[in-house]
């Protein structure tokens, strides 16, 4: 960093101001489903839901768009969350046995979640081991002024709220034991406290359930045992019946019991009823049970677990029982927790549950309990992005409204219940303005599906799902019939949820997607060299798909493909629902994974590349135009299909995972870390870490050679209407870049619209460029005479973009992993370049051309090259000068999958995966920011945040600061100008000034710095002196 100091001083302050108006880095929102959720809570008064994760995050969700996140300082798993109803306060219990109090506070007219208190239960020195004071359950009384903690040692402790001070009225087992009859004691301890439940009518009484089975109704005031229930089965959970006349206990043998509470009989030996719903064979534990009364009659019983061990022990189930209605919801991932949304008004006689919310390890499922058949309710947020692993993502900005509507209607025909009006969790107010334009995020998945998401706002909503598997003959077809047969058996399973990580044929995996938003044409390319051209259609169709094969080897000798076979297409016509319907299937030979694809709908052309070469296909005439092999003669690895080898390894891994899943896992809900399996897992993780550390510490320094393996992989393809043959005639061109730094440029002869059917497209090789440094070519783009990127197909003909400048000379921007270079066209002589790797030691992973609009004026915008490197930092370069503008740290460099998944938008935002199920959205633009803006108004007694208001806002998950948006007035500009004239003279004399090198400082400028500019010149000058002296540099040199 030191070395840039001198150069920075040469910076033009005017330019600095512009840069500040253009660029600002913020991590704005996380889309998708939180990774590894571990706790769930609901506040019926505020209608807010909270989800805790194993990484120590708490996420609040209300109405769509209302989202808040808090992060514990220690990354311990959140094991329990409880709302202080209506107060906007949350208690969280962590895996490290600490309790934290969070509050929703209003800052800058929006709500934030901040931590205000924490508490650690002290052990009784010398008496109990530390594990004895491990909190197992927490109970908040309805008045929210008392917190009861049940511990592993069997004690119950009480804390005052919201101060979290320990009250001196703990209840230990010996006190309870005194009332227990001798024959029950047997000299054994009662075990940990499994459940604490407050009496629904009498807030002085709590029900304490011990692991051994004993349940005690304890009077807090008189410190006296009211009732004893001598259960003999190991206890899992307790729930009161609303009236307080009875309660239900669930047990580890898979059964539940209903107990009557009567004051006449202080010691109850037997329950009213005892049921093992999935007996008589041994069953797994019923982890949690809920008992909800309804006005219509029979109570609703909801419980998780309890499945027969031998036959369905590996299923993740939740049972809903009411009278004769019995549904076993069969989930694909573990049930973390669940709750019902019901009437909590104390005066009402019945619970009347309206909805069931189930948090699973991989998704959130909501069941409507009021409609018959208990259908699922689609969630407007927390979309399980990873229902099948994401293999590719792509972003489409500014989607035309017509195309948007057609896609929505196609999506609604797939899933008719797609309105979120009856979404039951609707607390808070979304303050974010309606998005100005529609944005689409496309994700390609391992199972061959492409999902379309509405990425316009804070919550990512599913719009449409496209499957490509149905046009191929795969083994998964007959699987459906098997599962159907299974569903008629007892128990009455119902498959719920869409998380399905197992793809039946890895060849179906989506590798690349290209969409034309104007024509509704889509190209999807997959792992087995399949390239499918699709057209959006509003009508159902039943047609045959044209299949073409393109041999990319072009008779190269001496190579044999040892990878997977191509996917056999289905014979005969196939029925397609409205939506994207395939018209042509092109199969590359050898069927290696497609590594690049592009589409030009105006010319009816697609280009695709694999590790062997690239091809050009006219999908209108259904004829191949060009095939070119890019293999280096010495490259044998590419032929053997290394990707397929990886895939088969994955397959075997998957099978072993299935085996693990099937193995008997005893259902101890909280024993995540202490259990032996948890320990083994931990040890394994540690081992894996250590393995990662023992990477070879030596690196060979050698230039890239032509015959490095996989040098022929086609990395990027692009179409452009530009000057390739000579400087006077422009025409269609196609560009391809490879892993070994080769670029091939073809001049295309595309017949005019009228002649399209009779005349065929011709491709002529125009230029071949071999980059001397041989680094992989990451991206190619053509710039017009003004240096702006060429518009997309149809944009000009439909008056949606300014026509490119065809008068001035065009240039081509070639971005390799090591450097960016602009060449003039048609001569292809180097014009400007920036050698990123030579300067910074980082390699380019992702690049995109984005347009940045200034915050101070909507008229002013600049094109820039956005780049993500292998170190996870983002760089922005001006185009076409290729001057570095700003640099931000974004992703940890170890997070390879995050870096690989990054995708940029055209307006300076981006997405990357922070977990298999979550996208982090970030913004590089100072103007275009999509972030949650919500307000949650709460009223609470004893406001803690009032006197702790000095607590600074915790760094948002991203840790960046906000740049001011409004304060940049014209006055500032004038002052800046003045200051520059007053202070700039020493700069010009300085031998070190290099005014032409603009390296950015925007990232270093905080709001405070800017405020300095608003002072008078003298004052500002003094301040600058001070700053300079503090920094230990001569005052004459440092000027902004």
Partner 1 sequence: MNKNHRVPSNRTLNAVEVKSKFGAEFRRFSLDRSKPGRFDEFYGLLQHVHRIPNVDLLVGYADVHGDLLPINNDDNYHKAMSVAAPLLRLFLQRKEEADYSSFGTDTVTRKKTPAVLAAVLLRPDANKKKPPIIISLPKDFRPVSSIIDVDILPETHRRVRLYKHGQEKPLGFYIRDGSSVRVTPQGLEKVPGIFISRMVPGGLAESTGLLAVNDEVLEVNGIEVSGKSLDQVTDMMIANSHNLIITVKPANQRNNVVRSSGGGATSGSSGRSSDSSTSVYGYSTPGSMAMTPSHIIQNYEPDEESEDEEDLVIEADRGTKLNPQAAARAMASTSMPALPRYEPHLDLRPSNGTMATSASVGSLNARDRGVEGRNLEEDGTVITL
Among 770, 948, 949, 1026, binds partner 1 (CB under 8 A): 770
**Least CB distance to partner 1 at residue 744 (A):** 9
Tokens 């000579």: give the residue.
Answer: 726
**Least CB distance to partner 1 at residue 869 (A):** 10
Please report whether residue 762 would count as binding partner 1 according to CB under 8 A.
yes
Contact 763, 615 (CB under 8 A): no
Site map (CB under 8 A) of partner 1, residues 25-64, x = contact: ----------------------------------------
**Least CB distance to partner 1 at residue 1024 (A):** 22
Q: Of 33-41, 417-425, 772-780, 918-926, which segment contacts partner 1 by CB under 8 A?
A: 772-780
**Least CB distance to partner 1 at residue 922 (A):** 23
Among 280, 703, 959, 1032, binds partner 1 (CB under 8 A): 703
Among 167, 310, 637, 764, binds partner 1 (CB under 8 A): 764
Tokens 């000027």: give the residue.
Answer: 1039
- CA 692 to CA 894: how far, in whole Å? 11
**Least CB distance to partner 1 at residue 706 (A):** 6
**Least CB distance to partner 1 at residue 783 (A):** 18
Burial of 895 (0-12, 13-18, 19+ CB in 10 A): middle
Among 771, 782, 902, 933, binds partner 1 (CB under 8 A): 771
Q: How far are the Cα atoms of 26, 408, 539, 614 from residue 582, in angstroms, in the given order?
A: 39, 18, 13, 21
Please report whether residue 767 would count as binding partner 1 according to CB under 8 A.
yes
Distant-in-sequence contacts of 14-19, Cβ < 8 A, 24+ apart:
14/976, 14/977, 14/980, 15/998, 16/1001, 16/1002, 16/1005, 16/1040, 17/968, 17/972, 17/973, 17/976, 18/854, 18/860, 19/885, 19/886, 19/1000, 19/1002
Nearest to 74 by CA among 102, 52, 95: 95
Nearer to partner 1, 41 or 716 (CB): 716
**Least CB distance to partner 1 at residue 1009 (A):** 24
Nearer to partner 1, 116 or 814 (CB): 814
Tokens of 579: 């939506």
Among 668, 725, 940, 1033, binds partner 1 (CB under 8 A): 725
Among 436, 659, 690, 700, binds partner 1 (CB under 8 A): 700
Nearer to partner 1, 324 or 698 (CB): 698
Q: Given CA atoms 837, 611, 531, 918 in this order, what sign does their dihedral have?
A: negative
Q: Which helix (H) or strand (E) holds 554?
A: none
Among 650, 773, 906, 961, binds partner 1 (CB under 8 A): 773
Nearer to partner 1, 432 or 706 (CB): 706
SS3 letters across 579-610: EEEEEEEEEEECCCCCCEEEEECCCCEEEEEC
Tokens of 341: 């949304």
Residues recorded for the chain: 1040
Nearer to partner 1, 79 or 742 (CB): 742
**Least CB distance to partner 1 at residue 697 (A):** 5
Nearer to partner 1, 697 or 970 (CB): 697
Site map (CB under 8 A) of partner 1, residues 91-120, x = contact: ------------------------------
Among residue numbers 962 through 1021, which ones bind partner 1 (CB under 8 A)?
A: 992
Q: Of 3-11, 89-97, 505-513, 904-912, which segment contacts partner 1 by CB under 8 A?
A: 3-11
Among residue numbers 622 through 641, which ones bind partner 1 (CB under 8 A)?
A: 627-629, 632-633
Site map (CB under 8 A) of partner 1, residues 587-626, x = contact: ----------------------------------------
Contact 83, 98 (CB under 8 A): no
Nearer to partner 1, 416 or 991 (CB): 991
Query: Which residues, at least 6 apart from 687, have a Cβ–Cβ distance to it below 8 Å?
Result: none
Among 706, 975, 1015, 1027, binds partner 1 (CB under 8 A): 706
**Least CB distance to partner 1 at residue 415 (A):** 46
Strands 146-151 and 135-140, bridge-based pairing: antiparallel
Q: At what angle do helices 1017-1030 and 970-983 cross, to 10 degrees?
A: 60
Tokens of 573: 């016509």
- CA 534 to CA 894: how far, in whole Å? 37
- CA 682 to CA 751: how far, in whole Å? 64
Q: Which helix (H) or strand (E) holds 479?
A: helix 479-486
Tokens 């208690």: give the residue.
Answer: 91
Q: Beta strands of 431-529 (E only): which ranges?
A: 440-445, 449-454, 461-467, 493-495, 510-516, 521-526
Nearer to partner 1, 843 or 935 (CB): 843
Please report whether residue 914 would count as binding partner 1 according to CB under 8 A.
no
Among 436, 478, 659, 699, binds partner 1 (CB under 8 A): 699
Among residue numbers 814 through 843, which ones bind partner 1 (CB under 8 A)?
A: 818-819, 821, 828-830, 835, 837-843
Please report whether residue 77 would count as binding partner 1 according to CB under 8 A.
no
Size of the site for partner 1 (CB under 8 A): 53
Nearest to 714 by CA among 735, 687, 689, 686: 735
**Least CB distance to partner 1 at residue 779 (A):** 16
The total of other beta-carbon atoms located within 10 Å of residue 651's CB is 13
Nearer to partner 1, 98 or 870 (CB): 870
Nearer to partner 1, 5 or 309 (CB): 5
**Least CB distance to partner 1 at residue 776 (A):** 13
Nearer to partner 1, 394 or 760 (CB): 760
Site map (CB under 8 A) of partner 1, residues 865-904, x = contact: -----xx---------------------------------
- CA 532 to CA 997: how far, in whole Å? 46
Q: Which helix (H) or strand (E) holds 13?
A: helix 13-22
- CA 354 to CA 341: how far, in whole Å? 6
**Least CB distance to partner 1 at residue 591 (A):** 20
Among residue numbers 528 through 587, which ones bind partner 1 (CB under 8 A)?
A: 554-556
Please report whether residue 702 would count as binding partner 1 according to CB under 8 A.
yes
Laid out side by side, the sheet with 57-61 consists of 37-43, 48-53, 57-61, 67-71
Site map (CB under 8 A) of partner 1, residues 789-818, x = contact: -----------------------------x
Nearest to 503 by CA among 453, 444, 461, 460: 444
Nearer to partner 1, 837 or 964 (CB): 837
Nearer to partner 1, 609 or 932 (CB): 609
Q: At what angle do helices 970-983 and 13-22 cross, to 10 degrees?
A: 150
Tokens of 612: 């062997």
Among residue numbers 742 through 761, which ones bind partner 1 (CB under 8 A)?
A: 742
DSSP letter at 312 equals H
Q: Of 100-108, 327-335, 421-429, 695-703, which segment contacts partner 1 by CB under 8 A?
A: 695-703
N- to C-terminal Cα separation, the chain: 16
Nearer to partner 1, 770 or 1022 (CB): 770
Interface with partner 1 (CB under 8 A) = 2-3, 5-6, 554-556, 627-629, 632-633, 697-704, 706, 725, 742, 762-773, 775, 818-819, 821, 828-830, 835, 837-843, 870-871, 992
């Amino acid at each position: 960093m030191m070395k840039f100091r001198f150069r920075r001083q040469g910076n033009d302050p005017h330019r600095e101001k512009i840069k500040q108006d253009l660029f600002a880095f913020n991590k704005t929102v996380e889309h998708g489903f939180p990774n590894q959720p571990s706790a769930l809570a609901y506040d019926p008064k505020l209608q807010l839901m909270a989800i805790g994760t194993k990484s120590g995050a708490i996420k609040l969700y209300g109405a769509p768009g209302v989202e808040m996140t808090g992060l514990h300082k220690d990354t311990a798993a959140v094991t329990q969350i409880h709302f202080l109803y209506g107060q906007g306060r949350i208690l969280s219990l962590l895996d490290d046995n600490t309790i934290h109090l969070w509050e929703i506070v209003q800052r800058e007219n929006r709500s934030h979640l901040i931590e205000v208190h924490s508490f650690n239960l002290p052990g009784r020195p010398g008496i109990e081991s530390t594990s004895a004071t491990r909190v197992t359950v927490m109970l908040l009384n309805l008045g929210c002024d008392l917190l009861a903690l049940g511990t592993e040692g069997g004690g119950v402790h009480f804390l005052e709220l919201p101060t979290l001070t320990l009250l001196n009225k703990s209840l230990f087992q010996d006190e309870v034991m005194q009332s227990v009859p001798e024959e029950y004691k047997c000299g054994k301890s009662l075990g940990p406290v499994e459940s604490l439940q407050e009496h629904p009518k009498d807030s002085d009484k709590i029900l304490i359930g011990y692991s051994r089975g004993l349940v005690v109704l304890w009077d807090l005031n008189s410190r006296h045992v009211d009732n004893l229930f001598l259960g003999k089965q190991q206890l899992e959970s307790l729930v009161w019946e609303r009236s307080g006349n009875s309660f239900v206990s669930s047990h580890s043998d898979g059964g539940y019991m209903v107990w009557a509470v009567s004051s006449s009989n202080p010691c109850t030996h037997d329950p009213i009823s005892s049921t093992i719903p999935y007996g008589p064979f041994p069953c797994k534990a019923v982890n949690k049970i809920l008992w909800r009364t309804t006005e219509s009659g029979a109570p609703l019983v909801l419980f998780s677990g309890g499945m027969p061990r031998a036959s369905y022990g590996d299923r993740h189930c939740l049972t809903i029982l009411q009278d004769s209605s019995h549904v076993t919801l069969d989930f694909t991932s573990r049930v973390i927790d669940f709750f019902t949304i019901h009437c909590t008004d104390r005066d009402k006689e019945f619970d009347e549950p309206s909805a069931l919310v189930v948090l699973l390890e991989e998704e959130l499922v909501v069941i409507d309990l009021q409609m018959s058949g208990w259908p699922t309710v689609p969630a407007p947020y927390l979309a399980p992005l990873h229902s099948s692993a994401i293999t590719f993502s792509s972003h489409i900005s500014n989607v035309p409204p017509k195309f948007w509507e057609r896609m929505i209607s196609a999506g609604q025909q797939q899933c008719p219940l797609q309105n979120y009006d009856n979404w039951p969790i609707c607390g808070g107010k979304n303050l974010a303005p309606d998005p100005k334009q529609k944005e689409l995020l496309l994700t390609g998945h391992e199972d061959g599906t492409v999902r379309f998401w509405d990425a316009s706002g804070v919550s990512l909503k599913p719009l449409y799902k496209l499957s490509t598997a149905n046009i191929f003959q795969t083994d998964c077809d007959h699987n459906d019939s098997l599962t159907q047969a299974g569903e008629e058996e007892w128990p009455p399973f119902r498959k719920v949820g869409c998380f399905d990580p197992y793809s039946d044929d890895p060849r179906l995996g989506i590798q690349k997607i290209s969409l034309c938003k104007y024509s509704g044409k889509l190209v999807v390319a997959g792992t087995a060299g399949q390239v499918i051209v699709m057209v959006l259609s509003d009508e159902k169709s039943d047609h045959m798909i044209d299949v073409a094969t393109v041999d990319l080897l072009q008779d190269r000798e001496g190579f044999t493909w040892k990878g997977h076979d191509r996917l056999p297409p289905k014979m005969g016509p196939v029925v397609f629902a409205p939506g994207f319907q395939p018209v042509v299937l092109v199969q590359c030979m050898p069927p290696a994974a497609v590594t690049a694809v592009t589409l030009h709908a105006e010319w009816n052309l697609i280009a695709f590349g694999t590790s062997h070469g690239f091809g050009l296909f006219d999908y209108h005439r259904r004829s191949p135009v060009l095939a070119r092999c890019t293999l280096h003669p010495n490259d044998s690895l590419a032929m053997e299909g290394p990707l397929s080898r990886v895939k088969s390894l994955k397959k075997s891994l998957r099978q072993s995972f299935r085996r693990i899943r099937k193995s008997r896992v005893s259902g101890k809900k909280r024993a995540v870390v202490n259990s032996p399996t948890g320990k083994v897992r931990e040890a394994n993780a540690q081992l894996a870490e250590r393995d990662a550390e023992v990477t070879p510490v030596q690196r060979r320094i050698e230039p890239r050679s032509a015959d490095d393996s996989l040098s022929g992989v086609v990395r990027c393809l692009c179409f452009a209407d530009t000057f390739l043959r000579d400087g006077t005639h422009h025409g269609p061109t196609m560009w391809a870049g490879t892993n070994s730094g080769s670029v091939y440029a073809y001049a295309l002869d595309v017949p005019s619209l009228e002649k399209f059917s009779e005349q065929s497209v011709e491709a002529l090789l125009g230029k071949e460029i071999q980059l001397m440094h041989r680094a992989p070519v990451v991206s190619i783009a053509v710039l017009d005479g003004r240096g702006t990127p060429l518009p997309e197909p149809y944009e000009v003909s439909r008056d949606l973009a300014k026509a490119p400048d065809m008068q001035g000379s065009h240039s081509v921007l070639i971005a390799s992993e090591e450097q960016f270079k602009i060449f003039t066209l048609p001569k292809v002589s180097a014009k400007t370049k920036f050698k990123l790797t030579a300067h910074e030691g980082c390699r380019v992973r992702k690049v995109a051309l984005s347009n940045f609009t200034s915050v101070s004026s909507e008229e002013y915008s600049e094109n820039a090259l956005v780049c993500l490197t292998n170190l996870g930092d983002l760089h922005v370069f001006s185009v076409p000068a290729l001057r570095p503008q700003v640099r931000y740290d974004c992703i940890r460099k170890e997070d390879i999958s995050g870096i690989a998944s990054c995708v940029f938008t055209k307006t300076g935002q981006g997405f990357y995966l922070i977990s298999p199920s979550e996208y982090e959205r970030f913004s590089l633009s100072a103007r275009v920011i999509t972030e949650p803006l919500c307000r949650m108004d709460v009223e609470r007694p004893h406001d803690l945040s009032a006197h702790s208001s000095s607590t600074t806002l915790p760094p948002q998950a991203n840790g960046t600061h906000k740049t001011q948006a409004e304060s940049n007035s014209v006055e500032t500009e004038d002052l800046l100008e003045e200051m520059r004239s007053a202070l700039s003279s020493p700069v010009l004399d300085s031998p070190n000034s290099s005014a032409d090198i603009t390296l950015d400082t925007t990232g270093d400028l905080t709001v405070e710095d800017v405020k300095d500019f608003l002072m008078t010149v003298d004052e500002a000058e003094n301040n600058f002196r001070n700053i300079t002296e503090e920094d230990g540099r001569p005052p004459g040199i440092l000027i902004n």
